[in-house]
Amino acid sequence: MVISSKDNETIKKLKKLKDKKYRDQENCYIIEGIKLIKEAINENAKIKLIIVCDDCKQENNIDEDAKYEIAKYECIYVTEKIFLSLTNVVNPQGILAVIEKEKSNNVINYDEDLFLVLDDIQDPGNMGTILRTADSLNLKQIIVSKGSSDIYNPKVVRSTMGAIFRINIIESDNLVKTLKDMKKHKIKIVTTSLQTDKKMYDVDYEKSAIVIGNEANGVSKEILELADEKVKIPMPGNTESLNASVATAIILYEAMRKKLK
């Protein structure tokens, strides 16, 4: 059976998952594209439903092994018109899935050596790319302020390229308090700031929490006052600032370089 009616109850519920309020209420989110779905299967994510476009013109390029794995889950088939009403992608691959959120673990694991803290990162693309970068460095947890972009926003999920299945996202209701608690556990707070002469090369990142600030305003004043170290990325050119995700990658990889050295 192929669903062709926009009034179908399942389709109505799927459309609602575009909104954060309903994602929170249903404890689910949508992933899209065969690569992400294969990642979800490999990482044992809780796949509740897979939706396949029955007559999409785009090639799905789903290999036989993937088709075999997908067939193990509950699947529904929809017309192209219905599928396009569910997707936010310009050129969709014709397959998406509903994933149940992992049970939140808001307890910080202090056994780690390097921590990443996001202070009100707003852009979904930045958020997703930062998660992907953190995953490339094998970071297992990220602390985000409550005012940050929703981790389960479809654009964030796409940008993570599967990292969302491997990183524990710890949402802090009060980031200042969270950082004070981290300091009690002998974690050094390192913030980015233009108001310092200290370069990112001049800091020891052992047992450190690197705080990346809001795209427009940087790290908040209250958190800057808590910082043990304030650093900046040298920019000898004419550019005054860097994209938040780019800045995160540069500093995280410098911290990793020092650790490997």
Model confidence pLDDT, tens digit, residues 54-98: 887 655 567 788 888 999 999 999 999 999 999 988 888 899 999
**What is the token pair recorded at 223?**
């958190």
How far is C-alpha 197 from the geometric centre of its chain's CA atoms?
Answer: 31
Q: Inter-axis angle of helices 124-136 and 244-260, to 10 degrees? A: 10
Task: Quote the CA–CA distance of 215 and 160 in Å, as a whole number.
Answer: 18
Residue 245 has pLDDT above 70, yes or no: yes
pLDDT of 170-219, one tens digit each? 999 999 999 999 999 999 999 998 888 899 999 999 999 999 999 989 99
**What is the token pair recorded at 157?**
């999920």
Helices (H) and strands (E) in the chain, counts: 10, 11
Whether the CB-CB separation of 23 and 152 falls below 8 Å is answered with yes
149 CB neighbour count, 10 Å cutoff: 21
Torsion of CA 172, 177, 182, 187, to 10 degrees: 110
Whether the CB-CB separation of 94 and 52 falls below 8 Å is answered with yes
Whether the CB-CB separation of 167 and 135 falls below 8 Å is answered with yes
Question: Which pLDDT score, from 0 to 100, does residue 91 have?
Answer: 84
End-to-end CA distance of the chain: 59
Whether the CB-CB separation of 48 and 28 falls below 8 Å is answered with yes
